Amino acid sequence: MNESGTPELALHVPPDEMVKYIQDLMRLPHDEIAAATAWSLAHRQWGGDTPLARAALLRWGALNLAFQDKRLETWTVTRERDKIQVPAALVAAAGVAPLIITGERAVFDIPALLDATLEFQPAAGQA
C-alpha cells in the first residue's frame, strides 16, 4: 500500500531488459502489436511463462494506459499519425516505477513514473 492507501505492485523488470522488450515490440508494425504478440515476445525473452515475463507484460499494458494521460505528452514525441517515439529513459522507468491497482487494472502513478524517468536521463549539459 502507498500513503493514500492504494495497493501497489512491486513486480520489477530490470530497466535494460524492459527497454529491450519494448524496443522489440515497437519494431513491429503498429497493427501487429497485439496481446498475443506481446506475450510471445515476453516468453521468448524470459524463457517461457516466468514471473519476469508476466511482470513485463503487465508493465507494457500499464505503459499503454499511461500513454493516454495528457501529462505524458511532453515525454513522448509523435512522429507520424498513431506512431509514438518513446524515450528509452521512460521505457526503463516503466520497468521499475510503482504500479497501483485501480479497479481491475494495474496502472502507473504518472508523477512517480515521470520521477523514475528522470533517474535514467543524462545529467543536464551532458549528451
Sign of CA dihedral 38, 105, 93, 95: negative
What are the residues whose beta carbons fall under 8 Å from the beta carbon of 118, sequence distance 6 or more? 89
Place of cell 492507501: 5
- Phi, psi (5° rounding) for residue 50? -105, 165
Model pLDDT, residue 74: 67
Cell of 56: 513485463
Residue 45: how many other CB atoms lie within 10 Å: 16
Per-position pLDDT tens, the chain of length 127 = 445 555 556 678 999 999 999 888 888 776 666 778 888 999 999 999 998 999 998 898 888 888 777 777 766 665 555 555 667 888 889 899 988 888 888 888 889 888 888 888 776 555 5
Q: Which residues are bridge partners to 83 per DSSP?
A: 80
Task: Find out whether 112 and 122 touch, Cβ atoms under 8 Å.
Answer: no
Task: For the chain, give every domain's residue range.
Answer: 8-119
Instruction: Provide the H-helix boundaries in the chain.
Output: 15-26, 35-46, 51-66, 88-94, 110-119
